[in-house]
Copies of this chain bind each other. A is one copy, B any other.
Amino acid sequence: MSQGFKPVTTRPQEIEDLSFQMITEELGTHPFTEEQFPVVQRVIHASADFELGRSLLFHPRAVQAGVEAIRKGRPIVADVQMVQVGISKPRIEQFGGGVRVYISDSDVVEEAKRLGTTRAIVSMRKAVREAEGGIFAIGNAPTALLELIRLVKEGTARPGLIVGVPVGFVSAAESKEELAKLDIPFITNQGRKGGSPTAVAAVNALSLLAVKG
């Protein structure tokens, strides 16, 4: 057998520790608070993208609100299944919470057809009815985020925290600009980048903070 590259380590915790050390060193000076930094680190860890990490924007109460929502066992709503499966469950479940996704529910699919709109939009309407005070993690659909913002503005939705980081070329950056105008807890980023791993990384960083205390 030919000799190939040998990794420094194959132990997951060692890989993560070494990665976080590299991220801290390479990032250098940054505008984030001590409380926000673990979220930024984990987003960079999931993307290997410092530009994406630096583009993150936090409402002043965002991290605290996210940690509190998890500790109170409030539900986490994922916009798509990729976000749902990526979020680490044990740390959420130990506080009585869980991770929900509504976009493929049969009533959502039917309602979207009936109204001639997207499943993403209808799933947010269902989510705000069923997950008050929860964390809304939106990594994919700008239309879902825009609908959630609309529901917040009209007073129908009272999320504990919105993690709004959809990726894309059409409406993604604009939807995040709208989110950043709200005075409720949010984590978002400037520009087109983001996506499911960004949403997952932010929530996983928050649940780690919830456990560490």
Q: Which residues of B have CB within 8 Å of A193?
A: 47-49
Q: Is A134 an interface residue (CB 8 A)?
A: no
Contact status B154-A1, CB under 8 Å: yes
Contact status A12-B118, CB under 8 Å: yes
Q: Is A7 an interface residue (CB 8 A)?
A: yes
Interface size for A (C-beta < 8 A) is 53
Q: Is A168 an interface residue (CB 8 A)?
A: yes
Distance, CA A167 to CA B19, complexed state (A): 11
Q: Is A18 an interface residue (CB 8 A)?
A: yes
Q: Which residues of B have CB within 8 Å of A48?
A: 167-169, 172, 191-194
* Chain multiplicity (copies): 2
Of A32-40, A60-68, A141-149, the one touching chain B? A141-149
Contact status A168-B45, CB under 8 Å: yes
Query: Interface readout for A4-22 with B: 1 if CB under 8 Å, 0 if not?
Result: 1101111110010011001
Q: Is A150 an interface residue (CB 8 A)?
A: yes
Q: Is A73 an interface residue (CB 8 A)?
A: no
Distance, CA A207 to CA B208, complexed state (A): 38
Q: Is A93 an interface residue (CB 8 A)?
A: no
Q: Please tell me which one of the listed residues B154, B169, B175 contacts residue A23 in the complex, with CB atoms under 8 A apart.
A: B169
Distance, CA A9 to CA B143, complexed state (A): 9
Contact status A4-B153, CB under 8 Å: yes
Q: Is A130 an interface residue (CB 8 A)?
A: no
A interface, CB within 8 angstroms of B? 1-2, 4-5, 7-12, 15, 18-19, 22-23, 45-49, 81-82, 84-86, 117-118, 121, 142-143, 146, 149-150, 153-154, 167-172, 174-175, 177-178, 191-197, 200
Cross-chain pairs A/B with CB under 8 angstroms, 9 sampled:
A4-B149, A5-B171, A5-B175, A7-B146, A8-B171, A10-B121, A19-B168, A82-B85, A85-B85
